[in-house]
Amino acid sequence: MPHELRADLLDLDEATSRLVRTADALTDAETAAPSLLPGWSRGHVLTHIARNADGMVRLVDWALTGEPTPMYPSLEARERDIEAGAGRRAAELAADVRDSAARLRAALDRLAEQEPAYDRLVLFGAARPGAEADSPARTLPYARTREVEIHHVDLGLASYTEHDWPSEFVERTLLWVHGRSGPVDVVGEPAEVLAWRLGRTTGPSLSRLDGSPPGDAPPW
């Protein structure tokens, strides 16, 4: 197993453990409360995280077999699954997050044992006409870590904010976002810059290089 893949799996394990601890501690009232994502409760966010894990298992299968297996049949199917699961009790939501994460981790272990599959291209997101596979399977662990870390903050809990992201995750993900949409002239605390770039919050440390407010972040 390449060192980079091993390191990404360890980072994923740590991020997942933090999220599971948070989910296990939530009450029914807390999971029904609004998240930081417009129109979504915390139950929506937790269900999305779980279904994302199942979708990534399908991408591992794609990488291992060479048979295209989309994460989701369609955007509509993805949204239906999230809505169907969002209203469950807190214990059910936490178990779903934990069990789906375990299924994905087992699938990634299988991927780690099959070096020829590392660089097979897969397609993130829902199946869509004309879309072509463009992401090497070896990027799956870090992609899942992004999902876990970002949506952990989206739960809107004081116990886990952007300031709790590991510094290595912040640095790496800032570079990833810059690579997608280009650098910006906004400076401040790195975690707050990343949260702003992801369209989440505008932290108090942020400003443009000329001292003006950062405004809206560009699409990423």
Domain boundaries, the chain: 3-137, 161-220
**Using one digit for the tens of pLDDT, what is the confidence trace for 105-123?**
999 999 999 988 999 999 9
Q: What is the largest CA-CA distance in the chain?
A: 53
pLDDT-derived band at 201 (thresholds 50, 70, 90) equals very high
pLDDT-derived band at 220 (thresholds 50, 70, 90) equals confident
Confidence at residue 12, expressed as pLDDT on a 0 to 100 scale: 98
pLDDT-derived band at 2 (thresholds 50, 70, 90) equals confident
Confidence at residue 1, expressed as pLDDT on a 0 to 100 scale: 63
Which stretches of 113-164 are DSSP H helices?
140-154
Nearest to 163 by CA among 186, 190, 187, 191: 191
Confidence at residue 131, expressed as pLDDT on a 0 to 100 scale: 84
**Using one digit for the tens of pLDDT, what is the confidence trace for 149-187?**
999 999 999 999 999 999 999 999 999 999 999 989 999
For residues 27, 32, 34 and 36, what is the CA-based torsion angle, rounded to 10 degrees? Answer: 60
Residue 3 pLDDT greater than 80, yes or no? no
CATH no., domain 3-137: 1.20.120.450
Phi-psi region of 193 (alpha: psi -120 to 50; beta: other; left: phi over 0): alpha
Mean pLDDT in residue range 15-40: 98
